[in-house]
Homo-oligomer: A and B are copies of this chain.
Amino acid sequence: MNIGEIARRAGVSRSTVSYALSGKRPVTAETRRRIQAVIDEIGYRPNAAARALKEGRTRTLGLVIPPAGQRLTDMQLGFVASVVEAAARADLDVLLSPSGGDHDRSFERILTGSRVDGVILMEIRLEDERVARLQDSGLPFVTIGHTANPHGTCWVDVDYTTLIARCVHHLADLGHRSLALVNRSAELLATGYGPAHRAITGFTDAVAQRGLAGVGLTCADEPAAGETCFEQLRDRHPDVTAVVTVNEAALPGIQRGIERAGLVVPRDLSLAGVAARHWAEDFRPQLTAADVPTVEMGASAVDLLLERIAAPDAPVRHLLLTPPISLRASTGPVPR
């Protein structure tokens, strides 16, 4: 079912079939009809590899996701879903690369084999070798999240610093004087994971600004760690009345710890953070949180990438979102 077969059956040359399909040169209505009839009959679709080879583009985007070993958070999942969705709307396919380490075969394949027209990268660290690799590979790319030096690259991100600060202010307004930040894992922090560091900045600054007591903790991204983490917090800082967190994955465990301590949210302890909207709504009690607009961010990432592919030399663009905090049921006045 190649173009030659179609041409033979329709009694025209291969180039005429191609022009009839692309419309890049005029073709008589009658000829077009005959070609279309043959195509409808035997169900022809141009071979993707041949087209990619000739045109020099693949109509495919690469999406680099965290390795499958670690579970994706709802937020990450939201990005993946919306990127795939947005790409499908533009008639583009998405190639997935689960890439963790820096010597990842899948990652290297994607960026050296001319397999994709552009790449979207998530889970960005402040100093990220993958970003550097992409930069000198010359392949257009957009990141969801941004590095410490954000000016050279295209990215989309939420303003963690501000969001966390707003959580602190919200809690301060409710009368809380002693707050804890439950951050992402110590490993992520050590490797310079952006959101983890920005959370600290936002927390520390806001706490200082309001003259509050603040303690920061790291916690592995899993419920069990959340439980342990809360127990430690309870142990060492019993005066804390409100917890701010960017660690979605640990929250169920934190809540379990809270219950086991015989406490009730928000009566005895307030809880606020940054999370995907669905996640915050499904939490019990519903979580007061900055709802990260994953759908919008994924779509914007694809848009930026398409712009960049079309005009690789245009100045880079960024998108820093600051969604409002949705007040739900997990925060309340400080207990007396």
Contacts and interface: CB of A to CB of B under 8 A. Distances in A.
Interface of A: 43, 45-50, 52-53, 58, 60, 63, 65, 67-69, 71-72, 77, 81-82, 84-85, 88, 91, 93-98, 105-106, 108-110, 112-115, 223, 252-253, 255-256, 259, 278, 281-282, 284
Given A49-B50, A93-B95, 18 more contacts: A46-B113, A47-B114, A48-B49, A48-B114, A49-B58, A68-B82, A68-B85, A68-B88, A72-B81, A77-B77, A88-B98, A91-B105, A93-B96, A93-B97, A93-B110, A94-B96, A252-B284, A259-B284
Contacts of A46: 113
Nearest to A82: B68
B112 A223 contact: no
A60 B53 CA distance: 16
Given A68-B82, A278-B71, A95 B95 contact: yes
Contact of A94 (B67, B71, B72, B95): B95
Contact of A84 (B53, B60, B68, B256): B68
Contacts of A63: 96
Contacts of A113: 45-48
Nearest to A136: B43
A68 B298 CA distance: 11
A53 B47 CA distance: 8
A245 to B, nearest CB: 16
A64 B281 CA distance: 28
28 contacts: A43-B112, A45-B109, A45-B112, A45-B113, A46-B113, A48-B49, A48-B52, A48-B113, A48-B115, A49-B49, A60-B95, A67-B85, A69-B85, A71-B81, A72-B81, A84-B96, A88-B98, A88-B105, A88-B106, A91-B105, A91-B109, A93-B97, A93-B110, A94-B95, A95-B95, A223-B281, A253-B282, A259-B284
A123 B68 CA distance: 20
List 5 A-B pairs, minimum CB-CB distance, nearest first: A68-B85, A49-B52, A45-B112, A68-B81, A48-B113
Contacts of A94: 95-96
A309 to B, nearest CB: 16
Contact of A98 (B85, B95, B112, B253): B85
